[in-house]
Structure 1
Amino acid sequence: MGADWGPIIVAVALFILLSPGLLFQIPARIRFAEFGNMTTSGISILVHAIIYVCIMTILIIAIGIHVHFT
């Protein structure tokens, strides 16, 4: 009986993709959204953290993603 790797895979992928400034940043310094600017601010970290928690909750609890390696 193996461990459930679904939440771990989803959490790591979302952490990388939702890092502020890597792909996009909401809110940006000048505009509402900027793409690939590699900068960040405190408010954008908060916004991205809220987006991260919402997507994690939807994918793990509501949809129920499970990955088992045997």
Structure 2
Amino acid sequence: MTSEKQTEPLNKLVHDARAPLNRISMNAELIKLVLENDMPKQKALEALDKIIANCQDCSNSLQKISDSQ
């Protein structure tokens, strides 16, 4: 059984990976609103750039989790 001290670093890494996923979801919702409400295309493009950056952040966080094992 793992001790609390051992799981704390893992919990932080998981939290760090979850944060960009939340930002990805939020920006996907923004794109949906832009498309549904005929808002400026630039808003959707900016949200897509944020999604791409957050996917890369999430990938980096997951790599850290993998490396910690």
Kindly name which structure, 1 or 2, has the bigger radius of gyration based on alpha carbons.
2
Query: Normalized per residue, which structure has more helix?
Result: 2
Report if TM-score (shorter chain) is over 0.5.
Answer: no
TM-score range normalised by the length of the shorter chain: 0.3 to 0.5
**TM-score normalised by the chain length of structure 1:** 0.39
Query: Normalized per residue, which structure has more strand?
Result: 1
